[in-house]
Amino acid sequence: MDQQKEAAACAACNHMRRKCPPNCIFAPYFPTTSPSFDYVYRVYGCSNVGKILQSLPIEQRKMAAESLAFEAEARIRDPVLGCVGYIYLLQQHLAQIDRDIQRQRRRFMLPVISHRHCLHR
Amino acid sequence: MDQQKEAAACAACNHMRRKCPPNCIFAPYFPTTSPSFDYVYRVYGCSNVGKILQSLPIEQRKMAAESLAFEAEARIRDPVLGCVGYIYLLQQHLAQIDRDIQRQRRRFMLPVISHRHCLHR
């Protein structure tokens, strides 16, 4: 019976080799089978994640755990830029779209002007 | 003289109340006056940041330290979303631009067509 309880410990308590307490701060967001906890543990450490979750109202903890897992996975995949790499990509994408829009404006401005000119004849 | 050396310890060694070693992994990126180290320490902890920096070639460590500082500051400012909040904002901005482009295409398609029609008369 004790073994069954131990097997059901959350990923964080499993990692810390402790019994998962009933009010465990990690359990609702990092269940035993959570594939992301390893990333979160390696990047932030259990203690820092616990502090962040504890500082938040319960209804915000799920989103915080998800964003921490996302950032941790990004940092493991790209230890230099982490999540900031996505921001750079999105900013480059926005800059490219801005250049495209400017080019399209220059390209289509003339036909629109000559169309107006044509109407006024 | 020893006091002078202690005063020149990097932000991480200052925090750990240790003498800054000559080959300190933190010193080049988190000098004594570094305002970002407090964020980095609170979010990741010294040990995790040291591990990430140590795992990288020297030429990539500055960028890694800067991206870690950026993400840590974002997490302190927004403990729920952290850096992911910026990604959501950029994605929303891209989606808005996409809607604007579609609207402009629908708006300007007719004049362009009637201009061509006008030319063929």
pLDDT tens, residue order, chain A (121 aa): 444 444 578 999 998 999 999 999 999 999 988 888 999 999 999 999 999 999 999 999 999 999 999 999 999 999 999 999 999 999 999 999 889 888 887 877 645 445 455 444 4
CB neighbours of residue A88 within 10 Å: 11
Task: Quote the pLDDT of residue A92.
Answer: 95
For residue A32, give the 3-state DSSP assignment.
Answer: coil
For A82, the closest of B60, B71, B90 (CB atoms) is B71
Q: How far is CA A53 from CA A28, A47, A102, B10, in A?
A: 11, 10, 45, 29
Residues of B in contact with A90 (CB under 8 A): 87, 90-91, 94
* A93/B93 touch (CB, cutoff 8 Å), yes or no: no
Task: Quote the pLDDT of residue B109.
Answer: 66
Q: How far is B19 from chain A (nearest CA, A)?
A: 25
End-to-end alpha carbon distance in chain B: 92
Task: Quote the pLDDT of residue A71.
Answer: 97
Q: Which region among A98-102, B13-17, B76-80 has the lowest average model confidence (pLDDT)?
A: A98-102
Task: Quote the pLDDT of residue A109.
Answer: 66
- Please give the model's pTM, rounded to 2 decimal places: 0.81
* B63/A45 touch (CB, cutoff 8 Å), yes or no: no
Give the integer Cα–Cα distance in Å for B16 and B30.
Answer: 13
Q: Which two tokens stand for residue B38?
A: 């407090």
For B94, the closest of A63, A68, A90 (CB atoms) is A90
Task: Quote the pLDDT of residue A103.
Answer: 85
Q: ipTM exceeding 0.90? A: no
Task: Quote the pLDDT of residue B116.
Answer: 52
**Residues of chain A with a CB closer than 8 angstroms to some CB in chain B:** 42-45, 47-48, 52, 55-56, 60, 63-64, 67-68, 70-71, 75, 79-87, 90-91, 93-94, 97, 101, 108, 111-112, 114-115, 118-119
Asked if B24 and B13 touch (Cβ cutoff 8 Å), the reply is: yes
Task: Quote the pLDDT of residue B23.
Answer: 92
Task: Quote the pLDDT of residue A20.
Answer: 92
Asked if A74 and A83 touch (Cβ cutoff 8 Å), the reply is: yes
Q: Which two tokens stand for residue A49?
A: 């994640």
Q: How far is B24 from chain A (nearest CA, A)?
A: 19
